[in-house]
């Protein structure tokens, strides 16, 4: 999502895999040109040192709260974490996508067809904002 809460990419993943494994694929699936210095807001799931390093190589600043069980010292200060107060906009847009029953129930068995439905729902969400 960009700053206007417009969905810019979607990735279909299996339900039994951890979502932090697919963050880089999601960033690569963006259909618009992203600015040079990107910030990626995420929740505690993405708190991983190697993931932060891989995203930093792509000039992406990962902003997410640290997990309570983190052993290494913190990598970001409170200034960056204040951006997480806008995380509700991401969750709201996800809730808008859940208005489409076909996505919520995942009636399609083929991943390509389901991805098409998700992309169509993203387009409808964008059109509703105009």
Domain boundaries, the chain: 19-128
Ranges of H-type helices in the chain: 23-28, 49-57, 78-81, 87-97, 101-105, 111-128
In tens, the pLDDT along 13-32 reads: 887 888 778 888 888 877 66
Q: Give the per-residue pLDDT at 83.
A: 66
> Which pLDDT band holds residue 34 (cuts at 50, 70, 90)?
low
* DSSP classification of residue 26: H
Q: Is 72 helix (H, G, I), strand (E, B) or coil?
A: coil
Nearest to 7 by CA among 99, 125, 114: 125
pTM above 0.85, yes or no: no
Question: Do residues 45 and 22 lie in contact, with contact meaning Cβ atoms separated by under 8 Å?
Answer: no
For the cut 60, the answer to whether the pLDDT of residue 36 exceeds it is no
Q: Give the per-residue pLDDT at 24.
A: 83
């Amino acid at each position: 999502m960009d700053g206007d809460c417009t969905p810019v990419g979607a990735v279909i993943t299996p339900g039994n895999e951890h979502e932090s494994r697919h963050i880089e694929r999601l960033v690569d699936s963006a259909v618009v040109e992203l600015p040079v210095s990107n910030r990626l807001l995420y929740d505690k799931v993405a708190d991983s040192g190697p993931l932060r390093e891989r995203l930093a190589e792509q000039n992406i600043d990962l902003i997410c709260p640290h997990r309570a069980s983190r052993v290494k010292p913190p990598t970001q200060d409170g200034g960056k974490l204040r951006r997480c107060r806008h995380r509700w906009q991401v969750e709201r847009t996800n809730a808008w996508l859940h208005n489409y029953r076909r996505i919520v129930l995942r009636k399609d068995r083929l991943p390509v067809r389901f991805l098409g439905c998700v992309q169509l729902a993203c387009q409808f969400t964008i059109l509703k904002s105009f």
